[in-house]
Amino acid sequence: MASIRMPNRAWRPILRLRYAPLRMVVALFVKTLGWSARILPHPDGWGKIGDMDGKKIFSWKEVYRDYLALAWMAGAILLVDQITKAIVRGNLELGEMWAPWTWLEPYARIVHWKNTGAAFGIFQGFGDVFTVLAFVVSGAILYYFPQVPREDWILRLAMSLQFSGAVGNLIDRLTIGWVTDFISVGSFPVFNVADACISVGTAVLVLGMWWKDRRQKLETETSPDPISEQVE
């Protein structure tokens, strides 16, 4: 059996998963998650995870690349979300309103708002419940994101938006005890960048699923019937 290549030959005896007990722990963990997997030798990286029949194989290198893509997409949104909230908290008192022009204020304005509930101010007072829910949603996205094919960029985009929105509001709940909302448009509930990402991510997910289902139906309708071809 070929040995696993490590980034540094000097550390190979220490880091080699082929003989380390960590190999069994990782395989057991992955199998518990339902992959029924094992570590396989991989000449181009740290190793591969795949199922027992070899049909589904995951490369650690590819998994790192997937998480890097998620970090870039979600990280940029998180940065904007946290910076805008910090600017609002640093310049406006709680409940204070601001608009660049007086004529714009009836239609759109910035207001420092305290939200102890969910997105758009619903279910006030259930902050602890939504804190736990944010952990669950974020963990689920982290688990499933590498399993989504890179060709399915719509689903990946939706998951990145939802992940950044969940983590953005989770940071607020863990640091200050509530979520800072500040975008007020018309009579619509006050929201923030994270809330917008959650809503847009959900819309993208629904539209993506609808488009994928529609495309599969069209392909099924246009594909020739193999039985009729054999009869002919």
* Residues annotated catalytic, as ranges: 181, 195
Alpha helices in the chain (DSSP H): 12-15, 21-32, 60-91, 127-144, 153-175, 193-222, 226-231
Residues 22-52: b if buried by 16+ CB within 10 A, e if exposed: ebeebbeebeeeebebbbbebeebbbbbbbe
Given a contact cutoff of 8 angstroms between Cβ atoms, the answer to whether 78 and 168 are in contact is yes
DSSP type of residue 118: S
Distance CA 164, CA 170 (A): 10
Task: Report d(CA 194, CA 161) in Å as an integer.
Answer: 8
Tokens 């940065």 correspond to 79
Strand partners, 113: 181
